[in-house]
Amino acid sequence: MAGHSKWKNIQHRKGRQDALKGKIFAKLAREIYVAARSGDKDPANNHQLRLVIAKARSQNMPNENIERAIKKASGSGTGQNFESITYEGYGPGGTAVMVEALTDNRNRTAADIRHIFSKNGGNLGESGCVSWMFERKGILVADRVQTGLDEEELMLVVLESGAEDIESTDSNYEITTSPENFETVKETLEKEGLSFSTAEVTFIPSNKVEIHGDAVKKVIQLIYALEDHDDVQNVYSNFEANDEELAKVMDE
């Protein structure tokens, strides 16, 4: 599971964050709007809305932005009608790629996503072609230094909270939960004083593909191109590459 935080660290490199900064909050606002519009506007009574708000807060989205998106969804009239669509395909090196999108024009978005795959050495596939390689899990990432607990003590607290697993990297602890237990585990650990740089229910690859050399660069270029599309909310891939090759690509 530790590969998840490795990819998050790549995404969060300063240059990448600066490039995406104008889009991150806009995409989160769209997710909040859709979750609020499809259910109760009170997060206490809307599970999906609570999950999206937790994700937004882990990205340091201001409360006023969150409240504005909910208020917009509460407005009178028909509003915007966004459709949730998942695209599946293959990237360079035989990697699997899943793309979650929210769109108000299915035909436009499908054509755009197909073009991005093709332009970057991939192929858009049929529904179900790669989703079987991923599992839906809750992920909580905490900074090792800021936890205030030693590793053994933290592991005990985490497992008692109902989490499935905890793994450590050089800088983080990565806690895995079932989607159903995500909120309970998060709230329990926050009461223990933990804060999280990542808090979301996401897709984790259960079947990974190791890539090297030029394939690493091509896969990351494909993922970046997909993430840059306004309708794309999340991109998942099952690639695995060593730190040195990843660092080299990121520094180019």
pLDDT tens-place string over residues 90-141: 999 999 999 999 999 999 999 999 999 999 999 999 999 999 999 999 999 8
* Whole-angstrom distance, CA of residue 52 vs CA of residue 2: 22
Query: Which neighbouring-strand residues pair with 64?
Result: none
Per-residue pLDDT tens over the stretch 28-50: 999 999 999 888 899 999 999 99
Give the mean pLDDT of the chain. 86
Q: Is the pLDDT of residue 197 over 50?
A: yes
Rounded distance, CA 212 to CA 223, Å?
Answer: 16
Q: How far is residue 30 CA from its own chain's centroid?
A: 15
Residue at 2: amino acid letter: A
Give me the CATH topology for the region 2-74: Arc Repressor Mutant, subunit A (1.10.10)
Parse the chain into domains and list their residue ranges.
2-74
Pairing of strands 239-240, 209-210: parallel
Cα-based torsion angle of the residue sequence 143, 146, 149, 154 in order, rounded to the nearest 10 degrees? -30
